[in-house]
């Protein structure tokens, strides 16, 4: 069995080249700034504001994640959810993946220990950004890292092709990192102990590097280790992050930074457990059951370097350039276990070892102007941007068929009775695997966006993006020769916002979409790009000086060439199910979300989502995903009961997915999705003094047992996490 989605073993951009690009970025920006200053020497340029980006409570007032313009959430014609630092702290979401599980309208499926499917509006979320810069990923996405370096996480629902070019109708996740905005020294320490021997420590330091604070720094160190709820699993996570920010002049600011994240998993669970016994009866495994051998390993590393230059011109124009370079490293030694066992003897399961290695790298460059101007008696805003992205991907890997094993350890029944198996499958003798794939994807684009106020209650958001996308497949597994794919596409964006009252606005938006695919059909050919459009309309509200925000959205997405499983057919040379392109796939749904503060004592996050996703003939698309999801978390300031005490509780409810599987015993289709279930989360926080706080969180407090069917191999399943208890301590240094 081969892993899904492949990446590249090519060497990344050399450090010297990266340094040159950063130098060009900085020097070019300085030259531009000096020219502007010379032309307007008689005028005093407005200073770039330096401010702390920590959100207060559960709301965020502005975001550029949907259009690239700095718009208030109420005037953004799309549904935008924000997980603030305060909410991450209250719910003790230590990783990005845990934080995304709390987002209204998002669902998560754990395909194995290190690959998680995040879905929204019926489709998988594949678009990720770092500080608004496109982060192309492969196989393993950035939802596995520790969240300690992020100030907030912005999730824009629906397509965002205006910013990413290759739009996705699900959502885009923008990870906003902490920055060096503070001019005074401060530090924060978080320590944690929890279930399955989990220990965690995080340190966040802001320190000025000059007496006047014109040069500032931010440093974050986070480390966690512990065992998972599954047998054999042990995790070690490390995150290092540093950034320096300098005011080069009153109107020019330079930021540079570097981060490194790693996750090492021993006893990694790859794939899932059989859903049926060989006679068609349902399996009933222990939640701690694993298919891993004792030698299973899965190591992940990601390093990112970035530079940003902001300059404000004398006329109020703002110019910004950013350069991001990311390199990943992934290596795994894994055992793939397949087939359905005998219900009485536990015999019949097949084990196949697999070696996997990839070193993809991603280079992203953005530059452009934001222009404020007056027209029609109102303040207006427009922007134009140039974007370049290059992603080198590919993978190396193989199993017994790639001659990586001693002949005595070939694929076959190396497990015996799965009920009594001690996970001591013979360890392979690994060699250097063959190259499975190598490719380079580039995207060059120019985009524009504008916010035009046509009348006091009416705003028009207008934009478009012209992209040239190209993929050079230098070597493709199971494809006889190298080949290229190339597309030139224009993605329009149109939004309207109408203020019904000072606190309530109606909105509507339209965008087309384009998305290349890496799925293959039964002949081994790549599917054509997805094309379609998304229409969204709704209401947005804000009360109590934006402390409470609400959104009601309805939407429809139509797609052509959507990839669906081609049942009964495999990609040639693999054991992967082939895909087929569907025309006229349609998703409809609505969402309700409410975030913020009620009165002086309640913080609230509430969301309800409902969608249908069907082919033209009526068959369900992505049937393993639930169609209805309800999420609620509320925190109460219980100072009246005990000064410094806060209490919270949350509910996560999922409906039954409409998926059906063929029973191997009867040969008949039957409902197989997890019946509707709810999880209860609890928290209590005691502020011992202004600097020291103690917090207790209990996830899945009632210890509900539930399962999820695998996205890629739907006749397999994995259990959700049992009750998890976390005790944390937070200390502030001044």
C-alpha 232: how far from its chain's center? 27
**How does 429-455 read in b/e, with b if 16+ C-beta sit within 10 Å?**
eeeebebbbbbbbbbbbebbbbbebee
Say whether 527 sits in a helix, a strand or coil.
coil
So what's the pLDDT on residue 109? Answer: 83
User: Burial, 113: exposed, middle or buried (Cβ in 10 Å; 0-12, 13-18, 19+)?
Assistant: buried
**Pairwise CA distance, residues 480 & 284, whole Å:** 44
Q: Percentage helix, strand, coil, to 5, in the chain?
A: 5, 55, 35
Quickly state the pLDDT bin for 480 (edges 50, 70, 90). Answer: low
**Pairwise CA distance, residues 82 & 96, whole Å:** 13
Among 15-24, 487-496, 521-530, top mean pLDDT goes to 487-496
More confident residue, 505 or 66: 505
For 486-504, what is each residue's pLDDT tens digit?
889 898 999 999 999 999 9
Say whether 452 sits in a helix, a strand or coil.
strand
Tokens at 524, concatenated: 């081994």
For residues 272 and 713, the answer to whether their CB atoms sit within 8 Å is: yes
C-alpha torsion angle, residues 514, 519, 521, 527 (rounded to 10): 20
| 23 membership: H or E segment, kind and range | helix 15-39
Quickly state the pLDDT bin for 409 (edges 50, 70, 90). Answer: very low
The count of residues in the chain is: 734
For 647-699, what is each residue's pLDDT tens digit?
999 999 999 999 999 999 999 999 999 999 999 999 999 999 999 999 999 99
Quickly state the pLDDT bin for 532 (edges 50, 70, 90). Answer: confident
Q: State mean pLDDT over 167-178.
A: 87
**Pairwise CA distance, residues 519 & 517, whole Å:** 6
Report the half-sphere exposure of 576 (CA within 13 A, side-chain side). Answer: 23
So what's the pLDDT on residue 260? Answer: 96
So what's the pLDDT on residue 407? Answer: 40
Q: Any idea which of 17-26, 266-275, 546-555, 638-647 has the lowest mean pLDDT?
A: 17-26
So what's the pLDDT on residue 111? Answer: 77
So what's the pLDDT on residue 12? Answer: 35
For residues 111 and 139, the answer to whether their CB atoms sit within 8 Å is: no
So what's the pLDDT on residue 478? Answer: 55
Q: Any idea which of 45-54, 85-94, 138-147, 480-489 has the lowest mean pLDDT?
A: 45-54
Q: Hey, how many other C-beta atoms are within 10 angstroms of the C-beta on 185?
A: 12
Percent above pLDDT 70 for the chain:
87
So what's the pLDDT on residue 694? Answer: 98
Quickly state the pLDDT bin for 15 (edges 50, 70, 90). Answer: very low
pLDDT over 80 at 9, yes or no = no
Q: State mean pLDDT over 382-387.
A: 94
Q: State mean pLDDT over 19-27.
A: 36
For residues 189 and 730, the answer to whether their CB atoms sit within 8 Å is: yes
pLDDT over 50 at 542, yes or no = yes
Whether the pTM exceeds 0.85: the reply is yes
Q: Check residue 90 and report its DSSP letter.
A: H
Q: Any idea which of 20-24, 87-91, 172-176 has the lowest mean pLDDT?
A: 20-24
Quickly state the pLDDT bin for 19 (edges 50, 70, 90). Answer: very low
More confident residue, 447 or 49: 447
φ/ψ of residue 362, rounded to 5: -135, 125
Q: State mean pLDDT over 222-240.
A: 95
So what's the pLDDT on residue 477? Answer: 60
φ/ψ of residue 61, rounded to 5: -85, -30
**Pairwise CA distance, residues 103 & 121, whole Å:** 13
User: Burial, 167: exposed, middle or buried (Cβ in 10 Å; 0-12, 13-18, 19+)?
Assistant: buried
For residues 636 and 649, the answer to whether their CB atoms sit within 8 Å is: no
So what's the pLDDT on residue 3? Answer: 42
Tokens at 236, concatenated: 């070690």
Q: State mean pLDDT over 145-157.
A: 93
So what's the pLDDT on residue 5? Answer: 38
Tokens at 404, concatenated: 């990586």
pLDDT over 80 at 518, yes or no = no
More confident residue, 408 or 87: 87
Q: State mean pLDDT over 209-224.
A: 96
So what's the pLDDT on residue 103? Answer: 94
Percent above pLDDT 90 for the chain:
60
β-strand pairing of 483-501 with 504-515 = antiparallel
CA proximity to 307, closest of 254, 264, 270: 254
So what's the pLDDT on residue 415? Answer: 83
So what's the pLDDT on residue 472? Answer: 87
More confident residue, 463 or 481: 463
More confident residue, 314 or 6: 314
Quickly state the pLDDT bin for 166 (edges 50, 70, 90). Answer: confident
**Pairwise CA distance, residues 345 & 253, whole Å:** 69
pLDDT over 50 at 27, yes or no = no
More confident residue, 641 or 18: 641
For 601-619, what is each residue's pLDDT tens digit?
999 999 999 999 988 888 8
More confident residue, 235 or 271: 235
**Pairwise CA distance, residues 185 & 208, whole Å:** 6
**Pairwise CA distance, residues 49 & 26, whole Å:** 20
Q: State mean pLDDT over 76-90.
A: 93
Q: Any idea which of 189-203, 551-565, 716-730 has the lowest mean pLDDT?
A: 551-565
Q: State mean pLDDT over 399-421.
A: 61
So what's the pLDDT on residue 35? Answer: 40
So what's the pLDDT on residue 400? Answer: 52
Say whether 408 sits in a helix, a strand or coil.
helix
For residues 346 and 420, the answer to whether their CB atoms sit within 8 Å is: yes
So what's the pLDDT on residue 650? Answer: 97
More confident residue, 357 or 571: 357
**Pairwise CA distance, residues 18 & 320, whole Å:** 19
More confident residue, 22 or 609: 609
So what's the pLDDT on residue 352? Answer: 82
Chain mean pLDDT for the chain: 86
**How does 595-610 read in b/e, with b if 16+ C-beta sit within 10 Å?**
bbbeeeeebbbbbbbb
For residues 220 and 178, the answer to whether their CB atoms sit within 8 Å is: yes
For 556-579, what is each residue's pLDDT tens digit?
998 888 787 887 888 877 767 888
So what's the pLDDT on residue 385? Answer: 94
So what's the pLDDT on residue 44? Answer: 38
So what's the pLDDT on residue 413? Answer: 57
């Amino acid at each position: 069995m081969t892993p899904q989605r492949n990446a590249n073993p090519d060497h990344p951009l050399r450090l010297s080249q990266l340094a040159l690009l950063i130098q060009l970025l900085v020097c070019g920006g300085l030259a531009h700034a000096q020219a502007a200053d010379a032309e307007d020497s008689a005028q005093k340029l407005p200073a770039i504001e330096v401010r702390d980006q920590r959100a207060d409570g559960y709301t965020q007032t502005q975001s550029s994640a949907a259009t690239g313009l700095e718009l208030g959430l109420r005037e953004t014609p799309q549904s935008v959810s924000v997980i603030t630092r305060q909410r991450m702290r209250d719910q003790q979401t230590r990783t990005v993946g845990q934080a995304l599980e709390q987002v209204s309208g998002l669902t998560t499926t754990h395909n194995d220990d290190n690959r998680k499917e995040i879905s929204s509006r019926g489709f998988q979320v594949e678009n990720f950004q770092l500080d608004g810069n496109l982060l192309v990923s492969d196989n393993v996405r950035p939802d596995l890292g520790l969240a300690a370096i992020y100030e907030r996480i912005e999730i824009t629902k629906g397509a965002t092709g205006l910013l990413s070019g290759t739009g996705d109708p699900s959502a885009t996740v923008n990870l906003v990192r902490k920055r060096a905005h503070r001019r005074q020294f401060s530090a924060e320490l978080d320590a944690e102990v929890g279930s399955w021997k989990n220990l965690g420590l995080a340190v966040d330091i802001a320190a000025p590097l000059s007496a006047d604070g014109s040069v500032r720094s931010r440093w974050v160190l986070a480390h966690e280790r512990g065992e998972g709820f599954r047998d054999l699993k042990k995790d070690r996570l490390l995150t290092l992050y540093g950034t320096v920010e300098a005011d080069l002049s009153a109107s020019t600011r330079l930021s540079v930074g570097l981060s490194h994240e790693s996750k090492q998993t021993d006893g990694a669970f790859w794939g899932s457990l059989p859903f049926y016994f060989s006679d068609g009866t349902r399996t009933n495994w222990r939640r701690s059951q694993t298919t891993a051998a004792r030698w299973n390993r899965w190591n992940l590393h990601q390093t990112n370097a970035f530079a940003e230059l902001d300059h404000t011109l004398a006329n109020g124009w703002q110019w910004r350039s950013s350069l991001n370079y990311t390199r990943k490293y992934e290596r795994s030694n894994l055992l793939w276990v397949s087939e359905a066992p005998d219900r009485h003897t536990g015999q019949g399961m097949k084990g196949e070892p697999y070696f996997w290695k990839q070193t993809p790298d991603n280079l992203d460059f953005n530059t452009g102007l934001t222009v404020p101007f007056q027209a029609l008696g109102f303040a207006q805003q427009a922007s134009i941007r140039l974007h370049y992205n290059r992603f080198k991907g590919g993978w190396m890997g193989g199993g017994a068929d790639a001659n990586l094993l001693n002949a005595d350890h070939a694929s076959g029944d190396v497990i015996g009775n799965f009920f009594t198996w001690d996970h001591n499958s013979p360890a392979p003798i690994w060699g250097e695997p063959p190259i499975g794939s190598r490719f380079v994807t580039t995207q060059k684009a120019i985009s524009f966006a504008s916010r035009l106020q046509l009348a006091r209650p009416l705003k028009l958001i207008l934009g478009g993006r012209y992209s040239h996308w190209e993929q050079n497949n230098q070597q493709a597994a199971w494809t006889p020769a190298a080949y290229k794919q190339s597309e030139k596409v224009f993605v329009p964006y149109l939004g309207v916002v109408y203020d019904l009252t000072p606190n309530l606005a109606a909105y509507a938006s339209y965008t087309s979409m384009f998305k290349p695919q890496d799925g293959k059909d039964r002949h081994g050919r790549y599917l054509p790009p997805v094309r379609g459009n998304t229409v969204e309309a709704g209401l947005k509200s804000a009360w109590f000086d934006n402390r409470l925000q609400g959104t009601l959205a309805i939407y429809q997405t139509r797609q052509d060439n959507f990839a669906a499983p081609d049942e009964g057919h495999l990609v040639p040379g693999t054991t992967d199910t082939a895909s087929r392109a569907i025309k006229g796939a349609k998703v409809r749904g609505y969402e309700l979300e409410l975030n913020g503060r009620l009165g002086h004592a309640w913080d609230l996050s509430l969301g309800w989502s409902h969608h249908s996703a069907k082919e033209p003939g009526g068959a369900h698309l992505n049937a393993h995903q639930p169609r209805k999801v309800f999420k609620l978390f509320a925190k109460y300031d219980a100072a009246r009961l005990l000064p410094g005490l806060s209490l919270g509780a949350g509910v996560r409810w999922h409906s039954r997915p409409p998926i059906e599987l063929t029973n191997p015993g009867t040969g008949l289709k039957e409902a197989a999705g997890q019946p509707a279930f709810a999880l209860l989360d609890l928290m209590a926080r005691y502020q011992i003094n202004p600097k020291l706080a103690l917090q207790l969180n209990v996830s899945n407090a009632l210890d509900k047992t539930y399962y999820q069917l695998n996205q890629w191999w739907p006749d397999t399943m994995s259990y959700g996490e049992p009750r998890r208890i976390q005790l944390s301590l937070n200390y502030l240094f001044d």
